[in-house]
Amino acid sequence: MINIGLLGFGTVGSAVFTVLAERKAEMEACLKQKIRIKRILERDMAKHKSSEAFPLMTTEVADIIADPEIDVLIELTGDVKNMIEPLRRSISAGKHLITANKALLSKYLEELTELASKHEVAFRYEAAVAGAVPILILMKNISALNEVLEIEGVLNGTCNYLLSRMEAGLDYDTALAEAQALGFSEADPSSDVEGYDTMYKLRILSSLAFKQPVLESDISCTGITGVTKAEIEQALSQGQRIKLVAKATRDEKGEITATVKPTAVERDQLLGSLDNGENAIILRTSNAGTLTFSGLGAGGRPTAFSVLSDLMQIYEVLS
């Protein structure tokens, strides 16, 4: 029996609960083990009184960490400050960890990797980069068998949406107000529009691809708040579109240059074709050539797919 402690029951946490319930028989048949979510951490349990998950809920993370039956934590709170210490304790107590928390990973990737290795537990975070797109699962092989020369990607759906609306004639502030009213953007959009969300993902991706830490301070980051209607129109008139592009290259001397910035890309090429929640990553490698990955970068079910892929991967390897 695999016993899961689920931390956070928002968009992704509740989707993990639902998709796991829907696909349980298939997953259990693959893993030859029963699976259950044993406890769920939520800050405000009252919000979930009518949910079938409610009887599993607690507001105390210690209830989950101290439960010796729980084998694996799935962290989906988005909280960095209050989560790092419980996650350290949980790894040290021998529990595997799956997280989608890119902000937490951006700060603690190397520390948690080392701690997990020391305690011989699995540590996986596929959903933290490009939602449903299965890229991290392949990265170990890609970086072992190639020199990765360049990473280029569009990794933020909110920016895609805002830039598309500006192409339709809206100015930045009007596009943002519309995105917030429709729920495509958070009330506080700064992590998306200032480029930090994309920077966290590039930090994770490039550290794995180049097999050396690429820190936030190594990445030059400019968001889309300064993009003007005139720049959008200029790009369109030349068959291009402006996208928030993440790019990292390594030269022959091993020097890494990493940027996140609004960039004009050809509209008939992959990056220029993306809209809304679509993400894409292009890897240029020494042996495999150019590899492209694309798919839905956000949303409850797409992200739950990656979280549960991590779960299957951990127990397939162990079984």
Give the active site residues: 201
Who contacts 290 (Cβ-Cβ below 8 Å, separation ≥6)? 282, 283, 284
User: Of 222-261, which residues contact ligand NAP (CB under 6 A)?
Assistant: none
Binds ligand NAP by CB under 6 A, chosen from 303, 304, 314, 315: 303
Name which of 2 and 76 has its Cβ closer to ligand NAP. Answer: 76
Q: What angle do CA 282, 159, 13 make, to 5 degrees?
A: 85
User: Closest distance between ligand NAP and the C-beta of residue 21, in Å?
Assistant: 17
The CA R_g of the chain, rounded to the nearest whole Å, is: 20
Q: How far is the CB of 302 from ligand NAP (least distance, A)?
A: 7
Residue 10 near ligand NAP by CB under 6 A: yes
Alpha helices in the chain (DSSP H): 11-31, 61-65, 84-92, 102-118, 136-145, 157-167, 172-181, 190-193, 196-210, 229-237, 300-318
41: three-class secondary structure by DSSP: strand
Note whether 134 binds ligand NAP by CB under 6 A.
no
- Least Å from the CB of residue 250 to ligand NAP: 26
Segment contacting ligand NAP (CB under 6 A): 87-95, 127-135, 137-145, 283-291?
127-135
Of the listed pieces 4-12, 63-71, 161-169, 258-266, which binds ligand NAP according to CB under 6 A? Answer: 4-12
Taking contact as CB under 6 A, which single stretch among the options 19-27, 37-45, 87-95, 208-216 is the one that binds ligand NAP?
37-45
* 279 touching ligand NAP, by CB under 6 A: no
Q: Which is nearer to ligand NAP, 90 or 101 (CB)?
A: 101
Residue 1: CA count within 13 A, CB half-sphere: 7
The conformational region for residue 129 under phi > 0 = left, psi -120 to 50 = alpha, else beta, is beta
User: Distance between CA atoms of 291 and 117, rounded to whole angstroms?
Assistant: 29
CB neighbours of 36 closer than 8 A, spacing ≥ 6? 1, 2, 3, 4
Nearer to ligand NAP among residue 82 and residue 117 (C-beta): 82
Cα separation, 216 vs 201, in Å, equals: 10
Least Å distance, CB 108 to ligand NAP, is 13
Name the DSSP class of 185: S
Binding of ligand NAP by 4 (CB under 6 A): no
Chain residues that interact with ligand NAP, rule: CB under 6 A: 8-13, 41-44, 76-79, 82, 100-102, 127-128, 131, 298-299, 303
